[in-house]
Structure 1
Amino acid sequence: MEQYINPRLNDIQISGIRRFFNMVNQYDDVISLTIGQPDFYTPDHIKQAAVNAIQYNRTTYTPNAGILELRQAIEQYVSEKYGLSYQAEEEIIVTVGASQAIDATLRTILTPGDEVILPGPVYPGYEPLIKLAGATPVYVDTRGQDFKLTAKQLEQSITSKTKAVILPYPSNPTGVSLTESELRGIADVLKKYKLFGLADEIYSELVYTGNHTSIAQFSDVRDHIIVINGISKSHAMTGWRIGFLLAPSWLAKHILKVHQYNVSCPTSISQYAALEALTNGKEDPSFMKEEYKERRDYVMRRLSGMGLDYVVPDGAFYIFPKFPMDGMTSFEKAVQLLEECRLALVPGDAFSTYGEGYMRLSYAYSQDTLKKGLDRLEAFLAD
């Protein structure tokens, strides 16, 4: 019967990150610096809000777009944090994590034959969703631009089939962000060619120099932009699966149709936890961010001491050093690291062909784990 499934699935594989992570589990005594999973616990007051939701029987379906109180909290939150103006009733949708928000958006705006521009190297979760919608991912090589998509590169990549560009900043896997002026240039291109911009800003609260800037702040392209965000990374709530989507009302009402028939609504219990996070827990990310910054600085010092080149990450909790490959692929080198010194880093080619020759190191781990892992890396390179 397999021959009768959707043929588009034949070109889609399990994420390279997950495939390598599953391989790591087959080895003993491994120091893994692979997964982008905060090593902090969800703050207690947020967990208590979830307990209260259960005790007070807030366990029924909610409105498809999410409970109004949470959407109002999101409206206030993005206004205070990023200067964005979205109306809770018509322009905000609460989703099952940022991933489901991305899926619902792409299925709304894409039709077979469309093209979507991606800055490579990039998180591998976008390409499969683009393909499932019948569209084609078009990668732009950002390695020579410190992993930043430029307005010039974007414009040169546009064809008659281009429908959208994905702006995943701060970036996974590189940790880089775009400045306000860089975003302004990209906004001008989106406006000129009437393209959608999907801004995946899930790491917006983990920016180490200044504050995060969203492309949605430019009012003249507001109708072109869909902002994806959530609380997984900012509040150490990956398992709660709450994201949110911001879009102009004319577009949000169509995305809501896809969302409605896909999941009905996010779990009510998690929504009440998220409400607590975005009201009484607005500053919870601050201490986590400071800790990540210390870890980042430590990792950079160690990598520099090993002679490895990297672009300084100014957000998220990843660094993407260039590696001596000795004629190997990134995957082969990662396997060698795993087998010879029991250290796991994600091979760069998991993030498109433009990640070849690099490794992603996540510093969302304790200082002790980072030290042990980097000691092993240093010994491996010295060998």
Structure 2
Amino acid sequence: MLNRINPQVRQFKQSGIRKFSEEAKTIPGVINFTIGEPEFNTDERIKDAAIKALHDNQTHYPNNTGIESLRRAVANFEHTQHHLDYIWEEVVITNGATEGLAAALMSVLCEGDEVIIPSPMYVTYAPIVTFCKAKVVVLNTINYDFQINSIALENLITIKTKLILITSPNNPTGTILNHNSLQAVSAMAKKYDLFILSDDVYSQLVFTDTYEMLCHDDSLRDRLIITQSLSKPYAMTGWRVGYVLADLPIARAIALMHAYLVAGVATFNQVAAIEALKIDSTWMRDSYHARRDLGYDLLMDMGLPCVKPEGAFYLFPNISEFKIDSETFCLKAMREYKVAMVPGVYFGADHNIRISYAVNDAEIIEGLARLKKMITDLRNHASV
């Protein structure tokens, strides 16, 4: 019967991130840099809000698009946090940003459409686009320090291009798209009448004062879709609460797709999310900033090239010196040196590895000491 499964699904493979994280869990004493998940626990005030909602019997079906009080809270939060002017009806509450991405792409894409995605890219994007029977067109940014080159972008646009998908800060690189990169995306979208999907899940984890977002350009409003999540900035990865922001006609289309995909988000989780948006989580961002500095300095000390990340919680060093593919490198590191990382090949960059520093300082120091031992051994072996 397997041959009767949808061919789009049959070609999917397990996420490389999960593959390595699951093996890492079976190795005693391993330092695990694989999963992009805060080590912090959810704030007690958020948990108390969910508990109260349960006791208040807020356990029934919510409005498909999200409870009005949360949608209003999101609109107010985005106005205060990012100076965005979306009315509450333009907010769709989703099961994390991933479901929001899926609902948005399924709402916009038709069979044969093309989606340009800068690479390295997060592992979820391509499978969703493929499932929509659309084509992923890779924009390689490796030669531009992970920024977008306007000429390279325009050269990829055809009559079939429908959408450009960006994320800033980026997963896996931690890079923030600069002014020129964003202007290139904006100009091409206007020139060729394209949608832009901006995956902004790390926008509250930024370590620079020069952070720009496309949502500040009002001329893009009718073509811009934004996905967001409470997972990273509030340590709520298991709660599965995110949202989509879009111009009202687009938001309504996404809301319909969302309703047929999942019906809605657990009511008590939505109540908890309202409480989360009241909480100042900048201390968490500051913690990641310090860990970025610690991890980056240790990589520099061992002579491993790395573009300095300006957000999120990932380092993406280059390992091309060792002439080993990233999967072999990471398997060796995990099994022989007990430090688990994710091969860059899963993100479209086989000369790199992803290190999540969403762990404590002691683990960063010990894990990178093990990595240093491995690369020292590789260098010594190469010089023999």
TM-score bin, normalised by smaller chain:
over 0.9
Structure 2 residue 81 is the aligned partner of structure 1 residue 81:
yes
Residue from 355, 372, 382 that aligns with 2:376: 382
Structure 1 match to 2:382: none
For 2:239 and 2:332, locate their aligned partners in 1 and report how far apart those are by CA, in whole Å.
35
- What are the Cα deviations for residues 202-238 of structure 1, in whole angstroms up to 9, with x where unaligned? 0000000016432121111111100001110011100
Structure 2 residue 154 is the aligned partner of structure 1 residue 155:
yes
Comparing 19-28 with 155-164, greater Cα deviation is found at 19-28
Structure 2 residue 325 is the aligned partner of structure 1 residue 329:
yes
For 2:125 and 2:81, locate their aligned partners in 1 and report how far apart those are by CA, in whole Å.
26
Code of the aligned partner of 2:134: A
Structure 2 residue 189 is the aligned partner of structure 1 residue 195:
no
For 1:176 and 1:351, locate their aligned partners in 2 and report how far apart those are by CA, in whole Å.
14
Secondary structure of 2:322's counterpart equals coil
For 1:235 and 1:24, locate their aligned partners in 2 and report how far apart those are by CA, in whole Å.
25
TM-score (norm: length of structure 2):
0.96
Code of the aligned partner of 1:71: R
- What are the Cα deviations for residues 325-378 of structure 1, in whole angstroms up to 9, with x where unaligned? 5332110111111122111111110102xx111110010000011111011111
- What are the Cα deviations for residues 38-89 of structure 1, in whole angstroms up to 9, with x where unaligned? 0111111111111110111111111111011110111011111111111102
Secondary structure of 1:138's counterpart equals strand
The within-5 A match list for 1:1-383 is 1-89=1-89, 91-210=90-209, 212-278=211-277, 280-281=278-279, 283-284=280-281, 286-324=282-320, 326-352=322-348, 355-383=349-377
Secondary structure of 1:197's counterpart equals strand
Secondary structure of 2:209's counterpart equals coil
For 1:307 and 1:202, locate their aligned partners in 2 and report how far apart those are by CA, in whole Å.
31
- What are the Cα deviations for residues 152-190 of structure 1, in whole angstroms up to 9, with x where unaligned? 322111111111010111100000112345323321110
For 2:156 and 2:183, locate their aligned partners in 1 and report how far apart those are by CA, in whole Å.
18
- What are the Cα deviations for residues 126-151 of structure 1, in whole angstroms up to 9, with x where unaligned? 00000000001111110111112233
Contact 2:330-2:343 within 8 A present in 1 as well: yes
For 2:77 and 2:180, locate their aligned partners in 1 and report how far apart those are by CA, in whole Å.
24
TM-score (norm: length of structure 1):
0.96
Code of the aligned partner of 2:3: Q
Secondary structure of 2:175's counterpart equals coil
Query: Percent identical across equivalent pairs?
Result: 37
Code of the aligned partner of 1:380: M
For 1:42 and 1:326, locate their aligned partners in 2 and report how far apart those are by CA, in whole Å.
40
Could you tell me how far 1:11 is from its partner in structure 2? 1.9
For 1:195 and 1:62, locate their aligned partners in 2 and report how far apart those are by CA, in whole Å.
33
Contact 1:116-1:137 within 8 A present in 2 as well: yes
Secondary structure of 1:14's counterpart equals coil
Structure 1 gaps, min length 5: none
Could you tell me how far 1:29 is from its partner in structure 2? 1.7
Code of the aligned partner of 1:110: L
Contact 1:82-1:212 within 8 A present in 2 as well: no
Code of the aligned partner of 2:305: D
Contact 1:171-1:177 within 8 A present in 2 as well: yes
For 1:81 and 1:182, locate their aligned partners in 2 and report how far apart those are by CA, in whole Å.
22
Tell me the matched-pair count.
Answer: 377
For 2:208 and 2:192, locate their aligned partners in 1 and report how far apart those are by CA, in whole Å.
32
Comparing 220-229 with 203-212, greater Cα deviation is found at 203-212
Could you tell me how far 1:13 is from its partner in structure 2? 0.9
Could you tell me how far 1:23 is from its partner in structure 2? 2.3
Secondary structure of 2:116's counterpart equals strand
For 2:245 and 2:149, locate their aligned partners in 1 and report how far apart those are by CA, in whole Å.
24
For 1:212 and 1:60, locate their aligned partners in 2 and report how far apart those are by CA, in whole Å.
40
Secondary structure of 1:294's counterpart equals helix
Code of the aligned partner of 1:378: K
For 1:54 and 1:77, locate their aligned partners in 2 and report how far apart those are by CA, in whole Å.
24
Contact 2:115-2:161 within 8 A present in 1 as well: yes
For 1:12 and 1:138, locate their aligned partners in 2 and report how far apart those are by CA, in whole Å.
18
For 1:230 and 1:213, locate their aligned partners in 2 and report how far apart those are by CA, in whole Å.
19
Secondary structure of 1:271's counterpart equals helix
For 2:310 and 2:366, locate their aligned partners in 1 and report how far apart those are by CA, in whole Å.
24
Secondary structure of 2:222's counterpart equals helix
Contact 2:31-2:338 within 8 A present in 1 as well: yes
